[in-house]
């Protein structure tokens, strides 16, 4: 009886998305309101989220670090929403390792009057993942 050794070679070549590709995929998913999928598919585990300083007075943390913390923050925010009457996201603009979009929402938060929210968001991309997000409103 003869033992023969085999070598299994697996090609692990991985395609890393460019910033433009990440921005395009983000836009594709946000238009379908697939926010959870955006986080699962595109966010890096060490994502850094930044809100404007004046948001602290609304009980919103200014800096949130890590995918789990950012997910929890998003979930808490979703639970505050009574109804989204309409929303939009502009096409992303790409510059180097960053892309930017404008968001608008006609929204009613629980126990609050209906209001319109508009903001600019800037996302940082590294190795095909979103590693930072900063909101301006």
Contact footprint for a second copy (CB under 8 A): 90-91, 93-104, 117-122, 124, 134, 136-137
Q: Token pair of 10, please? A: 């697996």
Taking the complex as a whole, the smallest distance from the CB of residue 122 to a second copy amounts, in Å, to: 5
DSSP bridge pairs for 93: 100
Q: Which two tokens stand for residue 53?
A: 């300083």
Q: Which is nearer to a second copy, 21 or 119 (CB)?
A: 119
Nearest Cα neighbor of 38 from 24, 47, 19, 25 is 25
- What is the smallest separation between the CB atom of 92 and a second copy, expressed in angstroms? 9
Q: Between 39 and 100, whose beta carbon lies closer to a second copy?
A: 100
- To a second copy, the closest distance from the beta carbon of 28 in angstroms equals 18
Interatomic CA distance for residues 90 and 53, integer angstroms: 24
């Amino acid at each position: 009886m003869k033992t023969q050794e085999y070598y299994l070679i697996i090609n692990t070549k991985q395609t890393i998305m460019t910033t433009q590709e990440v921005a395009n995929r983000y836009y594709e998913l946000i238009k379908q309101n697939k926010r959870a999928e955006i986080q699962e598919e595109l966010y890096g585990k060490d994502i850094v989220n930044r809100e404007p300083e004046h948001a602290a007075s609304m009980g919103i943390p200014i800096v949130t670090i890590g995918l789990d913390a950012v997910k929890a923050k998003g979930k808490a925010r979703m639970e505050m929403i009574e109804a989204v009457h309409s929303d939009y996201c502009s096409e992303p603009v790409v510059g180097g390792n960053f892309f930017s979009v404008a968001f608008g929402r006609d929204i009613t938060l629980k126990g609050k009057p209906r209001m319109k929210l508009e903001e600019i968001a800037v996302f940082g991309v590294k190795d095909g993942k979103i590693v930072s997000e900063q909101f301006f409103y």
